[in-house]
Amino acid sequence: MTEFQASEPRSWVRIWAVLVAGTLLGSSIVPVLTWKLSHSSGWAGAFEHGRETIWSIGIPTVIAQTVVLGVIVLILFVKKRKTA
């Protein structure tokens, strides 16, 4: 495993990938399991709840994370071009 370097865009992309994976897993699997545990109904309701959650929370969060990453990487590339 490599060390995080704030001046390297690749390090920020790795952090973004982990955040996106965690966001998508957390906004899909966790709501399905909590719905199933709290309701005695079948899995259909749990999967519907998970689908609603990923579209209402997960996808907008991933979009926001992508925008923030894009800004960080753009700043780093501009900074490197000025120093090169």
Reduced 3-state DSSP string for 23-47: HHHHCCHHHHHHHHHHCCCCHHHHH
CA distance 22 to 71: 21
| pLDDT tens per residue across span 20-55 | 999 988 888 989 999 989 988 788 988 998 899 999
Q: Is 15 among the domain residues?
A: no
**Structural domain contains residue 66:** yes
Number of domain units in the chain: 1
Average pLDDT of the chain? 89
What is the identity of the amino acid at 63? I
pTM: 0.75
pLDDT higher than 80, residue 1: no
Distance CA 52, CA 62 (A): 15
Does residue 62 surpass a pLDDT of 90?
A: yes
Structural domain boundaries, residue 51: 20-83
Q: Has residue 63 got a pLDDT over 90? A: yes
